Structure 1
Amino acid sequence: MSMIPPSASTLRGAVDLSGLVQRAAQPAASAAPATGAANGAQQASGPIPVPSLVVDSDDAAFTGLLELSNTVPIIVEFHAGQAWAGIAAAVRSYGGRLLLASVDATRSPQLQQAFSVAAVPTVAAVIGGRPLALFEGEIADDQLRQMLDQVLTLAAQNGVTGTVTVDGEEGEPAEPVEEPLPPHHQEAYDAIDRGDYPAAIAAYQTAIAQDPRDQLAVAGLAQVSLLNRLSGKTAAEIRTAAGDAPGDIEAQLAVADLDVSGGHLEDAFGRLLDLFPSLDAEAKNGVRTRLLEYFEIAGVEDPRVVAARRRLTTLLF
């Protein structure tokens, strides 16, 4: 990713996050981008109170921020457990004209996919419900402020000129209020936190055995299985192995895992589906199983999943 160009004046053509909204807990309609008239009416009522100018977010909680982005630009920082303090301080300095969402990419696969996050830290913005890639890595303070100024300019050109205000004295960010997870889901999350992917796999498998209709456990199992397969490997060695052995199904499955982990679904699907007709029955079954896992990770309504599923069905029958 690179910085947004200074001449950017419209979000037309930006990637739509509607698929992510539809998978979130709140109704999709609540996160639809506001029109200019509606946006103006919303902002006319004054600043919107928020608990903090820097909030933690994840796949489930992001819908509310999409709605808020119709009033104020949302800066989104993806990290792997350690947030960048510099960007939080910079966002706070704008006095409510920006809000920062801090996202642990390892715990938010839908957001990682929606924003095509290939490395951390990655910084993006959401303006009027639409995402905008900004940059990867950390940058100098003066460059960061220049980038944030550009975001505000682009937001103004798209009618997003509101502000938020901290409801009460802002201190440490409040702990998010969430519904407690089912026991085996919590066990899986705890195992992921400590990097014990086999234990997380076992916890999700137990949840599925108790309730085969537990789709969250099915999706969670697919996600943590992907993390487990990639654990201890580097992108360079995976891609080198796949390039050296184009007919090695395990090497091709590994590089497809890598593509999915970075949000490059079409590359992963295309690689495996192109290879599929040349495989024997056992290898075909392995590829089919892996593709079904990817479909769970991405979500069945994702258009890339719909297209890949259609092609897989054609190849099978």
Structure 2
Amino acid sequence: MSPQEKEAVEAFRTDVVEPSMTSLVVIDFWAEWCGPCKALTPILEKVTEDYAGKGVRLAKIDVDKNQFIAAQFQVRSIPTVYAMFQGQLVADLSTARTESQLRTMLDQILRQLPVQSEEADAEAELEPLIAMGEQVLAEGDAERALSVFDQIAEMAPEHPQVAAGRARALVALGRADEAEAVLAALPEDAAKGAEIEQARAAVALAREATPVEDLSGLAAKAATGDMDARYELAGGQMAAGDREAAAETLLAMIRDDREWNESAARARLLKLFEAVGLEDPWVSAQRRKLSAILFG
């Protein structure tokens, strides 16, 4: 190995291999005379800059000045683009010639590798705070839960879990309009998660679950079998925060007449499930009861 080759190897180790121990390094093999390289360069630079917070960085290797390095990677045509992590090539990105294609491939890689990033560090810091807010909300202290989520929102205003927690706390406090505004303010890419759908379901449910002043009187009317009264009772029970009673009322309605009012009782029950959270153990238990009625 010549002195120049040794120098090139050392530079590659410093600029590419060592950073790849913690970051995902996108290696762009290019040359000044390469037209396609010049077209691809702005895309690589823009996307890797956008993904810097995710732990991605760009290393450019001029094949004319680094022929030995290019030969080690068996580069036969340019542009050739690889991704390296912890000193190993993990993907060939050469087929990604558009911004959308490159982003899609990077997203797939980042989901599979423990790349250190500012976003991951920030997420780790937020996790226990979000869990605390969720616990307080689950315990029924919506006012305190909202205070917790408001404080977290100052750190991460567009975090979907934080926005969802704030919205559900506002719903529990009877402030559905404010909850809807919180969700509407999220950017499009942050407004697609399951937690946001759960919060939207809670808002929708709050809008149709009308509070009832005399629940006992309405319950007596519902006991006569009046389906309209039973449906109104379920709404009043949900508005009062009594999901157990609401579910029992709706399940009984489905058992007696599942087709009533175009299956309105079942639709409301499913919306209640979504608002509580489909992974919640309570929802799982209620869904088993529903299945027993429908298919038993």
**Is the TM value for this pair above 0.5?**
no
Q: TM-score, normalised by structure 2?
A: 0.40
Greater relative contact order (CA < 8 Å, ≥ 6 in sequence): 1
TM-score (norm 1): 0.38
Q: Over alpha carbons, which structure has the higher Rg?
A: 2
